[in-house]
Structure 1
Amino acid sequence: MSPINYEIRTPGEDERFAEEAERLGDLDTLRPLPRISIHAFCESEAMQRMMDRMARDRRMAKVNLRVTIGGTDAAANMFASTPTPNLIILETETDPKNLLDELTPLAEVCDPSTRVIIVGRYNDIALYRELIRNGISEYLVGPVQMQDMLASISAIFVDPEAEPLGRSIAFIGAKGGVGSSTIAHNCAFGISNLFSTETILADLDLPFGTANIDFDQDPAQGIAEAVFAPERLDEVFLDRLLTKCSEHLSLLAAPSLLDRAYDFERGAFTPIIELLQRSAPVAVLDLPHGWTEWTRAVLSEVDEVVICAVPDLANLRNTKNMIDALKKLRPNDRPPHLILNQVGMPKRPEIAPVDFIEPLEIEPIAILPFDVQLFGNAANSGRMISEIDAKSPAAETFSQIAHIVTGRVAMKKAKKGGLGNILGMLSRKKA
C-alpha cells in the first residue's frame, strides 16, 4: 500500500490556501488569448518562473511568448532594431520619480499600437494614474501571480466590449488574371515574417483558389468547412481548419474543387471574418474577382481594401468603377489602396502608370514590374518571392506594401493614448 502524504500547514496558512484556490478558480472564467506576440523582460527569478509557468497554460496556446532576462534598457536596445510585439511586459525596480525617464528610450522605438504592462515594486496610486494616463496599459505591483497577469492580458485583448483586435485586409483584382492572389499571398507572408505577427491568410476563391499551391500545401480541410457549417464556428473549430505555412502564418485554404456550386448569401463570410479578427492580429483575405452580394459585404466590412490592376483600358475602367462603388459602401473609410502589377510586359500595349492613375485621383502604393522568371519560379516551387530572392526589387516592394497596409509606416509617430505620449509629457515637464 502506498503511503499517505499529509500536508502540514502552520496557523494562518489555511486562509492563504483558500485564497489561492479562489484565485485559481477565477482562471476558469478567462477565455483563451488570441494569436498575439508577447515579449516579457524579467529582472527577477520569481518573475521568470511565473512567465515560464504561464507559457504552459492552455489559455496561452495561441500566444507567441518570448522571455528575456533584463529590464527597460534591454527592451529599448532590442526594439531599436526589431519591430515591437503586440504586448511588452516589463519588470522594473526603478523608483516612481525616475520611472518615466527610464521609459523614454523605449518610447522612442516602440510601435504606438503595442501595449505595455509594467510590473513594479512600489504600490503608488499616483504613479499608477500617471502611467495609465500616458499610455501604459496596466501597472502591477510585484511579485505578480500568474492568474493576475493572465487576467490583465485578457482585459486588454479579450474585452468583449472592445473593438476587434485583428486587422482585416482584403485583396481583390480589378480584372481576372492581374495577380491579385499572388500579391495577397506574398503580403501575408511578409506581414507574418517582417513583424513576427500571427497572421491568417483566408482564400475566399473557393472553386479556383491557389493559396494551397502557392504555399505547397494540401490541407484536407479549410474555408469550405467554415462557410458551410457556421453553427460550428469557434476558436477550437478554426484551429482544426488552419494549416501552418510558417512560424507566424496560418492558411485557411480553399477546396479548389468543382464538385458543387459556390453560391453564397450576402453575410455568409461575416462570421468567419469576425472570428478571424478575434483570433489573430492580422487577417489577409484573398477575394476572387467578381461583384456579388457577398463580395460587396466583405469589402464593406474589412479594415483595408487593396485593388490590384494591370495598366490596360479594361482595368482602368473597372478600377474606377470599384473605387466609386467603395466610396458608397465605405463612406467613412479611407479610399482603397491601389497596386499596379505586371508593368512593362514586353510586346503588350499598356497605359503609362502616370496616365492610368490620373482619372482615379489616388496614388498607387506600389508598382510591380513584369518579371516572369522570378514570379514563375516562385509559383512553380510553392515559395514566396522573398524566399526565392530576398534582395530582389519585388521583395522590397512587398515589404513596403506590408508596412503600408498594416499602418506600420507611421510606427515611430506618437499617437494619443500610446506609449509615445510619455515623450511629450517629459518635454512638457522639462519646459
Structure 2
Amino acid sequence: MTPPIDRSHTEDLLAFLRDGSSPYHVVAEAARRLEKAGFTELGASARWTGRTGGSFVVRGGALIAWYVPEGAPPHAPFRIVGAHTDSPNLRVKPTPDIGRAGWRQIAVEVYGGVPLNTWLDRDLGISGRLTLRDGGTTLVKIDEALFRVPQLAIHLDRSVNEGLALDPQRQTQPIWSLGRPEQGALLRRIGEHAGVEPEGIIGWDLMLHDIQPPGLLGADREFLVSARLDNLISVHAGVTALTAAADHWTRNTAPDGRFRVPVLAAFDHEEVGSGSETGAQSPLLERVLSRSVAARGGDGEDCARAFAGALCASADMAHAVHPNFSERHDPDNHPLPGGGPVVKVNVNQHYATDGTGLAAFAAACERAEVPWQRFVSNNAMPCGTSIGPITAARLGVTTVDVGVPGLSMHSARELAGAADPGHLTRALTELVTTG
C-alpha cells in the first residue's frame, strides 16, 4: 500500500531543490525562509546582546540558526538538527577555459564521491559564488543547458558494458562550444548573467548542476527524483522543523520549566570530510551557541549545562535496500522508501547513534505518529559516515544519525520515497520542540 504523502510538503521541497543548486544558494534560500518566519540575521563580528526569538548566522555555504523561547534560562539545553548543504558534483577549476581537437571545454575538478558515469550526457548549468575585486560576493546561477560531458559512442568502445572506467582528468571535461579555447570566455558569460564586469571577478566557487527539474516517479507517484536529495532533503526538513518549533514557542510556554532551544546547523564540505572553516570539524557551531548563551547573560557554567543536556540529530540520506544488489546490504535490515526515516547504527562510530540517542529519536517518531526504520551496513562492505560523529566528538553531546532512505546516492540524480521527507520533518519537529 502506498503510504500517505503530504503533497504540500513535497511541493515545497521540490521548490527548495530547484533553488539549491549550490551550497550558497541553499543557504540563501534557507535564510530567506527564516527571515520570513521572523528570524533575524546576526553579523558574526557584531556584538550580540539579550536576544530571544529567532536568530541565524551565515558563513559562506554554512548556516547556524536557533530560537530562544521567551523565559528560557541561559542553561536551557540545545536540540540540534545537523545537516550539510553540499553535494558531490563537478567544480570549475581556477583556469577554466580549455579545449582539444576543435572543441572548447571547461576545466572541472571532481568534488566528493561522484559516480562519474551519472554525469555523462546530461544538460548542465552552472551556479555558485563570485568574489569581487572590492571584497564583496554575489551569487550567480545559469539554469540553462550550457555544458555536457559526452559519452563515447559504443561503436568506439565495444567493451563499455563490461565496465566503464573514466579518467577524472581527461574524460570528465564538459564541452560548451566549438573553436580554440579563449581565456576569459566563461567569466564573460557568467559576469554578463550576474550583472558584473568580468574584470571585477577575482575569485569564484562555481559548480555544474543538472538542469532537469525535480519531480515524482512511480505507478502512484510515490517516489521523489532529483539532484541533490543528499542532503537538501535534510536541510529542508531542518529549516521547516525549526520554524515550526519557533511557532510553537510563540504560542506556548513550558509549564514545567523544561524549555528547549531548537537549533539548525547546516554545514558545508561534508562530502569532502568537513575539514574547513564552514565544515563540521570547525568550531563554528560551538562558538555560535556559546555566544548565544552569553548574549542572554549566561556564563561558562550555563554554557556547559546547555551542552550537557543537548541532543543532536545528524540528518543525512540513508541507503534503501537496492533490489538489484540486495546482497550488498545487511540481510536483516532492509530499509525501504515510504517506511519512514532511518536510524543509522555503526559500532565503529562511522555513525554516532547509541541506545540513548536511538531511544530519543524513536520517542519523537512515536509522538509525531510517523514510522521509522533501522540501518546497519553489511559487515563485508565499507560504511559511509556523516557529521554525526564529528559533532558528537567536538561538542560532547548525545547524537543520533538519521535520514531518509534512498537509491542512487551521490549520483547526478537520486531517488527517495515521496512520503519520507514529511515523516522526517515531523519527527525532527517533535525532537527539537519537546524532546
Please tell me the TM-score bracket, short chain as reference: under 0.3
Q: Which has the higher helix share?
A: 1
The TM-score with structure 2 as length reference comes to 0.26
**Bigger RCO (CA 8 Å, 6+ sep):** 2
Q: Which has the higher strand share?
A: 2
Larger radius of gyration: 1
The TM-score with structure 1 as length reference comes to 0.26
